[in-house]
Structure formats: structure tokens, C-alpha cells
A = this chain, B = another copy of it.
Amino acid sequence: MSQTYKGYLIDLDGTIYRGNETIEAGKRFVERLQEKNIPHIFLTNNSTRTPQMVVDKLGKHGVNTDVTHIYTPSMATAEYIQNQDIENPRVYIIGEVGLYRSLLDSGCIYDPISPDYVVVGMDQDLTYNKVKKATLLISNGAKFIGTNADTNLPSHEGLIPGAGTILKMVETATGQKPVVMGKPEKIIVDLAMKQLQLDKSDVAVVGDNYNTDIMAGINSHLDTILVYTGVSTPEQIAAVKDKPTHIVNSLSEWEV
């Protein structure tokens, strides 16, 4: 298969690795991009890791890269808030270290009393009290932002609750829908594209999950490459109306 793209936005879990397992064809795809100096950004929906943690994780899978090639929903949230032109934006956070670092490093002030924003992401230390606090703050006027709406995450124990389940709990308690950053939303793709500095017609989104990766491309009017090494299956894709631009069984089929 071949169609020339000048750049790629590449998903991680299910595309480059599957949990702790390396997807060799994904890894070689990245190496081929690196050999030809083709611009690319790893675009993940994981808000819990800092960019350096993502680089380290990729390194364990034999993919050598740096933080300039990483874009996360936590980075998107920080950039989104900075773009709102509120001086010294104040935030209450439900999330893990990746989200805390992105928001605080970008100049947000942590304020659990009267924040401008309540930002909610994946949090394995979630408690009722955090949700209660978020609920009361949003009811008092704080804006509700979600890093990503994934309902499930794969784990060695099975599919476990993702950030989307926490968003839904807060949404049910407040009656308010969050502004969501992560794939399939346009926001994170547009922000990652700013970093890539290429025309939309020259870039493809690569990923294994139709509902997040491919829909993100479709919502942002980018071409898409679906790879069957993760979540989505040929049976599921047969049933969808908007097909991916390209479909491969493995990224070894994709010429760059």
C-alpha cells in the first residue's frame, strides 16, 4: 500500500505497543519514519503520564524518541486553558501526575476553593470526596473540562474503568457536560497539528481504535490509517458508515 504523507499523528496503545508487549510492525514503522526524517507526533489519549514518562515507556519498547514528539490530553488541556486568555487560571484537578505536571508547569494555579476550571482525567486514586468537590465547584460556576472520554482501559485484569467513567459520574452529579480534549475530539488533533506545522492534507492519523483514533481524524478532516493490531476488528469496520481512508492488518504493510 502506498500514498505519500508528509507527516503522521500516531497512536500508541494498540498501535506501537499493547500494554507491556511491543508491536514489532509498529516499532519498525516508526524507525522507517525516523530514517526518512518524516515528521510525526505520538498522539495518545493517556493523561496520566508526563511526556518524559511516555518517552521512557517507548524506550522500553525499543522506540527512541524525545518529548518534542509526544502530545497528550494533559498537554492539550494546559494549552486549551492558556488559549482562553484568563490571567493566572485557577484549576481543581482530578487526575494523576501527567495532568498535574502539564497544568502546573503551564502556569495554572491549583485552587480547590474557587477555581476557574475543574479538570477531570483518569485517576486511580479517585475518591467520593474528589467527585463531591468537583460537583460543588462546577455547580458554583467553574468550567468543566475532561481530558478524554475513554470508557475502558485494557489491563492485565481485563477492561477497567477509564477517564470517561469519571467524567460521566461528574456529569450525572452536575447535569453539565464537559469540554473534552482527547480523541475523537477535534481539539487535541488541531493542537498537535500546530506542533507538526504541516497542512492537513499532508498528514494522516494512524491508530487501532476506530472510535477514538479514526474518528479524531474524520472530525478534523485528516486522512486516516486504521491498523488491526488493537481494539477495532474488520467486523466492526464493516458496519461503520465513515470508513478509514486506509486499512492495514499491520503497519509493515504501509510504505512511507
Which A residues are closer than 8 A to B by beta carbons? 123-129, 131-132, 135-136, 139-140, 151-152, 157-162, 164-166, 168-170, 172-173, 175
Judge whether A139 and B159 touch: CB under 8 Å: yes
Contact of A123 among B128, B139, B158 (CB under 8 A): B128
Question: How many whole Å from A122's CB to the nearest CB in chain B?
Answer: 9
Taking CB atoms, residues of chain B closer than 8 Å to A157 are 132, 136
Q: Which residue of B lies closest to A131 (CB)?
A: B161
Judge whether B160 and A164 touch: CB under 8 Å: no
A173 with B158, Cβ < 8 A, contacts A126-B127, A127-B126 known: no
The CA-CA distance from A18 to B47 in the complex, in Å, is 41
The CA-CA distance from A136 to B152 in the complex, in Å, is 11
Contact of A160 among B127, B132, B152 (CB under 8 A): B132
Ordered by A's residue number, 12 sampled pairs between the chains whose C-beta atoms are within 8 Å are A123-B128, A125-B128, A127-B127, A132-B161, A136-B157, A139-B159, A152-B173, A160-B173, A161-B169, A162-B173, A165-B173, A169-B169
Taking CB atoms, residues of chain B closer than 8 Å to A152 are 173
